[in-house]
Amino acid sequence: MTAASLLRRLLPRSPITFEPAPGAPYRLPRGLFSLELDGCYMALGWRHGLGLFFHKIRFEVLVWDPVAGHQRLLAVPPDFEFQGGKGDISGAVLRAAGDADHFRVVMVGSNGKQPRAVLACVYSSETGAWGDFISAPLPSEGLFIFRSQPAVLAGDCLHWSLTMAGSRSILKFDLNRKSLDLRLLPGDYYTPLSPVKFAVMRAEGGGMGFLFLFGFTAELWSLNPNRDGVMIWEPGRSIELDKLLRLNPKKDPPQVIGYAEENNVVFFWTVVGVFMVHLESWRFKKLSKTSLDSWYHPFEIAYTPGIGGGHDGAKVVSHWWMTRWARYTKQLFS
């Protein structure tokens, strides 16, 4: 029995659907890919054409390649702690460098023991096994909760946003050094009760940064060395979204609901619809109206124009397609 038929037989139908981004020169037919999962699955993110989903009851992850039609179910190592809906486990999937036939899954979370520690473990499809655990001490005994945002790959490191004992932090996993690092956000800019929104992004130059969203003001921050060589947070460019997107400042402010890391595009929910904004040029495009109960998972793949798409040239171009994770049957932008 294949994994696909197992899912169809055992799980209530709740398909994930795709919608091509407007203006893309190569558009996938609506409904070409579908996957039926139940409400116990959490979408952890998409990267390199692969989706990763975590089953909260069976404690396993599903890797899905919709283009090739392949699926892989993996049992998560039992050392991780998961407390129901508190979200203290997360993960990411990525292709192996220079090898499109293999992938890696990185799971991160807390161990639930004393003294508490943050853990990481990497699965390689090439070896078919999980590697050794990597750990780092947690500086606080408070709640360790991953936010709903997927990891961001910047350079050779994966970054997750999380809340730890009431403070927002970034967890970094170095794929080459196999090391973990926790870094707090600037304390003067965020308190647990402030209305500031926060999302990990790629900074200028490709390193790790984040976006602060305070009301209608979006501000980009990055990590840079000071005169003594110590890495510190520094603010960069900012934009007034009400002026850029022509929004009414008396209405509800925008919220970040997705990020396409390869194209450096952020998705903002507003009362008049969803916009995607390119963070380098500030160019934007309105997508449609949608509810605020979903996170957009951009699906970015690369193709060579001239092969099946009717476009000339040899340059490899990336485009993205949005997937929406929903408990009930929904279709994007319908």
Residue 120's pLDDT is what? 96
All domains of the chain, ordered by start, with CATH? 3-324 (2.120.10)
Q: What percent of the chain has pLDDT over 70?
A: 72
Q: Is the pTM here over 0.85, yes or no?
A: no
**Residue 256, strand partner residues:** 268
pLDDT, one tens digit per residue, over 224-282 is 888 998 888 889 999 999 999 999 999 999 999 889 998 899 999 999 988 999 998 99
DSSP state, 11? S
> Does residue 8 have a pLDDT over 60?
no
Say what the pLDDT of residue 30 is: 56
Q: Which residue has the higher pLDDT, 188 or 118?
A: 118
Question: Does the structure show a pLDDT above 50 at 5?
Answer: no
pLDDT band for position 289 (cuts 50, 70, 90): low
How many residues does the structure list for the chain? 334
The Cα 80–Cα 91 span in angstroms is: 12
Q: Which residue has the higher pLDDT, 318 or 49?
A: 49
Cα separation, 211 vs 203, in Å, equals 9
Distance between alpha carbon 104 and the CA centroid of its chain, in Å? 15
What is the dihedral sign for C-alpha 146, 149, 150, 156? negative
Q: What is the mean pLDDT of residues 311-317?
A: 33
| pLDDT at residue 172 in the model | 95
pLDDT class for 81, splitting at 50, 70, 90? confident
Between CA 162 and CA 19 the distance in angstroms is 29
Least confident of 110-114, 141-145, 264-268: 141-145
SS3 at position 86: helix
CA angle 99, 101, 103 (to 5 degrees): 80
Mean pLDDT of the chain: 77
User: How much is the pLDDT for 220?
Assistant: 92
Give 147's pLDDT tier (boundaries 50, 70, 90).
confident
